[in-house]
């Protein structure tokens, strides 16, 4: 069932709750791939009634970003969401009504990594997720770990604003060759698609060293950089960072037993991100 | 019943809803007076189960404001709230847990009147009200119109964040001599208490002129100022303002048939506010 109207979605969720069903929620921007479908499957495991939203949220795009050309395929998306109870596909004016002026932001957690490179991005994310949580009223919501910082920011917001929803992070889903799935991969030319493997390869090189005992933040970072620099058109960051605070460790720091290694770079005109939690995640790809 | 723990309040409200009761909500900072009690009475008319929160919200006070000396009397307040089902009196650390970083703000509506004079104030208000709405889940919430701009800002936030709650504004409750009731009136010395009548008198002078057909914004403003300037230690603003947008009208503008006249000034060290919606409210006080 595809519903556009927020208030109708609220009603459908209220009816589900009245029937004793838990409501699971997966917010997406559409252009769905196997990564998204893993999230809806996870939601379905945890709740009997699952809502998936498809909304290309304008406020999380910067003025020079790809809002206008972001891939959109509602029909195709709906076909992929067979086991979902409600596809919530609102118009922009329904989520941002004329005269709307409210923004939700999370400080500090957004000050590093993607934050400085995408001013306003996380504020757009937290604003729309707060709206969506209010509309859907989920008991559980599933987010992908590819957007690791986003997940941390949403956990923070959820706790701080007392949304009664459990936030579940789902492992990154990768292509067989290691590339993290992303709707933006569709932008890549065949040659760029090949180069993009440098991200997961770089993370894997660092993960292998970490497994063997390497804890010098700078060395781990350089190992990732060695695979990423040659293929990147430009690099926003390659950072070893505190897994909770999202603060990058200086190169001369010793990494703790669980630490985030995250990258954002451009391959051609396409901005790609990837990450691995060293000490927790399996290596992103097997190295020969 | 006094409850400190937000999650226990949530449970009590969930139980009430499960019994088919609507939940009414009145957020206060305590130091309750007859104005507050009019709000809880109004809530009780509109909902069977009423929660009144008593929380001196630190984030809505500026660094040079009266947070530390704000009047507190939980025991006395609880006695006054006999007909309320739950008094929610959380500790500051329960509403702002360690590590919290989330803020909710409303732009534009907060750019004029009290906004520039109290930087961060409205952000503190919207942040705590969003938290409280999430915890209590009211179907109706009642706010006093003395804080007219606050009411407008909360209406905006409620709509924008899809909180499923009806916002009710309650008329200003005044002392017999016209002074708008306020917890901060307790700060006034007897001499200041007398001077403070200049606020409601000034609004009434303008209201009388408005009734007689005066529509020049500058003249209405000057009529209010004539009573306020002599008694004010300092004036933050006396403004004729758009009743929806909260933007002050220039002196040479013609006031519409429904327009806000609002004042904020200090009498001694005490900041007082008052307002009247010309064309809608009765005059604040009878003029001899």
Residue A166: the pLDDT is: 98
Residues in B lying within 8 Å of A, measured between beta carbons: 6, 10, 97, 99-109, 126, 130-131, 134-135, 156-157, 159-164
Task: Tell me what pLDDT residue B83 has.
Answer: 86
Residue B57 lies in a domain: yes
**Residue A105 contacts residue A60 (beta carbons within 8 Å):** no
Both B214 and B270 in a single domain? yes
Using pLDDT thresholds of 50, 70 and 90, give the confidence band for residue A83. confident
Contacts of B154 (CB under 8 A, 6+ apart): B125, B126, B129, B143, B167
- Which of B113, B136, B170 terminates a domain? The answer is B170
Report chain B residues whose CB lies below 8 A from the CB of A159. 97, 100
Question: Could you give the angle at which helices B121-136 and B148-160 cross, rounded to 10 degrees?
Answer: 50
Separation CA A248–CA A240 (nearest Å): 6
Give the mutation candidate from B13, B134, B155, B242 for the A interface (greatest A CB count, under 10 A). Answer: B134
Mind telling me the catalytic residues of A? Answer: 36
Co-location of B98 and B229 in the same domain: no
CA dist A57 and A55 (Å) reads: 6
Across the interface, do A160 and B109 touch by the CB < 8 Å criterion?
no
Question: What are the chain A neighbours of B108 within 8 Å (beta carbons)?
Answer: 101
Shortest Cα distance, chain A CAs vs residue B120, angstroms: 14
Which residue of A9, A96, A99, A102 is the best one to mutate when testing the B interface, meaning the one whose CB has the most B CBs within 10 A? Answer: A102
Q: Do A141 and A189 fall into the same domain?
A: no
**Are A255 and A288 contacting, i.e. CB atoms less than 8 angstroms apart?**
no
Per-residue pLDDT in tens (0 to 9) along chain B, 288 residues:
999 999 999 999 999 999 999 999 999 999 999 999 999 999 999 999 999 999 999 999 999 999 999 999 999 999 999 889 999 999 999 999 999 999 999 999 999 999 999 999 999 999 999 999 999 999 999 999 999 999 999 999 999 999 999 999 999 999 999 999 999 999 999 999 999 999 999 999 999 999 999 999 999 999 999 999 999 999 999 999 999 999 999 999 999 999 999 999 999 999 999 999 999 999 999 987
CB contact under 8 A, B162 and A135: yes
Q: Which of A101, A108, A160 sits opposite B106 (nearest CB)?
A: A101
Integer Cα distance of B172 and A272 in angstroms = 55
CA B260 – CA B278 distance, rounded (Å): 6
CB contact under 8 A, A162 and B6: yes
Nearest CA in chain B to A136: B162
Which residues are registered as beta bridge partners of B50?
Answer: B24
State residue A288's pLDDT score. 76
Give residue A273's domain range: 183-278
Residue B105 phi, psi (nearest 5): -135, 155
B33 catalytic, yes or no?
A: no
**Cβ distance of A102 and B102 shorter than 8 Å:** no
Torsion angles phi and psi, residue B260, rounded to 5: -85, 135
3-state secondary structure of A110: coil
CA distance B26 to B11: 18
User: Token digits for A229?
Assistant: 């620099």
Asked if B106's CB is within 8 angstroms of A102's CB, the reply is: yes
Answer yes or no: do A187 and A160 share one domain.
no
Q: What share of chain B is helix, strand, coil (3-state, %, to 5)?
A: 40, 20, 40
Task: Indicate whether B285 belongs to any domain.
Answer: no
Residue A253's Cβ-side half-sphere holds a number of Cα atoms within 13 Å equal to 15
Residue B284 within a domain: no
| Same domain? A154 vs A187 | no
User: How many A×B Cβ pairs under 8 Å?
Assistant: 80
CB count within 10 Å of CB B253 equals 15
Domain boundary among A121, A137, A170: A170
Residue B148 confidence (pLDDT): 98
Q: Does residue A283 sit within a domain?
A: no
Q: Residues A203-230: pLDDT tens digits?
A: 999 999 999 999 999 999 999 999 999 9
Q: CB distance A106–B102 less than 8 Å?
A: yes
Q: What is the pLDDT of residues A24-42, one digit of tens each?
A: 999 999 999 999 999 999 9
H or E element: which one contains B196? none
Q: Find residue A2's DSSP bridge partners.
A: A87
Mean predicted confidence (pLDDT) in A232-260: 98
Q: Of A170, A202, A237, which residue sits at a domain end?
A: A170
- Best mutation target among A7, A20, A104, A158 (most B Cβ atoms within 10 Å) is A104
Q: What are phi and psi of A160, to 5 degrees?
A: -65, -35
The CATH number assigned to the domain holding B256 equals 3.30.1300.10
Secondary structure class of A143 (helix, strand, coil): strand
Measure the CA angle with vertex A159, ends B103 and A271; round to 5°: 70
Would residue A285 count as lying in a domain?
A: no
Q: Which stretches within A212-285 are classed as H helix?
A: 217-228
Structural domain includes residue A33: yes
Chain A contact probe: residue of B55, B156, B158, B162 with most A CBs at under 10 A: B162
Interface residue ranges in chain A relative to chain B, Cβ cutoff 8 Å: 6, 10, 97, 99-109, 126, 130-131, 134-135, 156-157, 159-164
Q: A195 and A58 in one domain?
A: no
With beta carbons less than 8 A apart as the criterion, state whether B237 and B208 touch.
no
Q: Based on the domain organization, do B24 and B110 belong to the same domain? A: yes
**Among candidates B6, B131, B161 on the partner chain, residue whose Cβ is nearest the Cβ of A102:** B161
Residue B17 distance to chain A (closest CA, Å): 11
Judging contacts by C-beta atoms under 8 Å, the chain B residues touching residue A97 are 159-160
Three-class secondary structure of residue B225 per DSSP: helix
**How confident is the model at residue A176, as a pLDDT?**
97
Query: Which residues are CB-contacts of A55 (< 8 A; sequence separation ≥ 6)?
Result: A27, A28, A29, A30, A88, A89, A90, A95, A128, A132
> Distance of CA B168 to CAs A264, B45, B143, Å?
47, 12, 6
Tally of structural domains, chain A = 2
CATH of the domain at A92: 3.40.50.620
B201 and B74 housed in the same domain: no
Q: Are A204 and A178 in contact (CB under 8 A)?
A: yes
In a shared domain, residues A144 and A29: yes
B224 and B92 belong to one structural domain: no
Give residue B7's region: left, alpha or beta (phi > 0; psi -120 to 50): alpha
Is residue B15, in this structure, part of any structural domain at all?
A: yes
| Residue B174, pLDDT score | 98
Q: Are B136 and B92 a contacting pair, CB within 8 Å?
A: no
Q: Please check whether residues B88 and B28 belong to one and the same domain.
A: yes
Cα Rg of chain A (Å, integer): 19
How does pLDDT run across A120-139, given as a tens digit for each residue?
999 999 999 999 999 999 99
Structure tokens at B228: 């306020």
- Assigned domain for A17 exists: yes
Residues A119 and A238 in one domain: no
SS3 content of chain A, % helix, strand, coil (to 5): 40, 20, 40
pLDDT of A210 reads: 98
């Amino acid at each position: 069932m595809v519903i556009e109207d927020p208030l109708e979605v609220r009603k459908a969720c209220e009816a589900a709750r009245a029937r004793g069903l838990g409501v699971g929620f997966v917010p997406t921007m559409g252009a769905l791939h196997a990564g998204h479908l893993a999230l809806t499957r996870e939601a379905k495991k945890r709740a009997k009634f699952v809502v998936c939203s498809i909304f290309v949220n304008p406020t999380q795009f910067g003025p020079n970003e790809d809002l206008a050309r972001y891939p959109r395929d509602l029909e195709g998306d709906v076909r992929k969401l067979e086991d979902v109870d409600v596809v919530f596909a609102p118009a922009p004016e329904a989520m941002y009504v004329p005269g709307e002026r409210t923004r939700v932001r999370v400080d500090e957690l957004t000050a590093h990594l993607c934050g400085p490179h995408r001013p306003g991005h996380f504020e757009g994310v937290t604003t729309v997720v707060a709206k969506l949580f209010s509309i859907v009223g989920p008991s559980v919501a599933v987010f992908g770990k590819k957007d690791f910082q986003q997940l941390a920011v949403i956990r923070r917001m959820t706790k701080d604003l007392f949304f009664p929803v459990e936030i579940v992070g789902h492992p990154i889903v990768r292509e067989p060759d290691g590339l993290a799935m992303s709707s933006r991969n569709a932008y890549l030319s065949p040659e760029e698609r090949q180069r993009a493997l440098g991200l997961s390869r770089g993370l894997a090189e660092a993960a292998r060293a970490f497994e063997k005992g390497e804890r010098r933040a700078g060395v781990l970072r350089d190992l990732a950089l060695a695979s990423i620099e040659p293929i990147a058109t430009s690099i926003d960051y390659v950072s070893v960072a505190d897994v909770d605070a999202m603060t990058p460790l200086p190169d001369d720091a010793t990494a703790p037993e669980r630490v985030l290694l995250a990258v954002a770079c451009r391959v051609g005109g396409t901005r790609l991100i990837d990450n691995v939690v060293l000490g927790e995640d399996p290596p992103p790809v097997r190295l020969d």
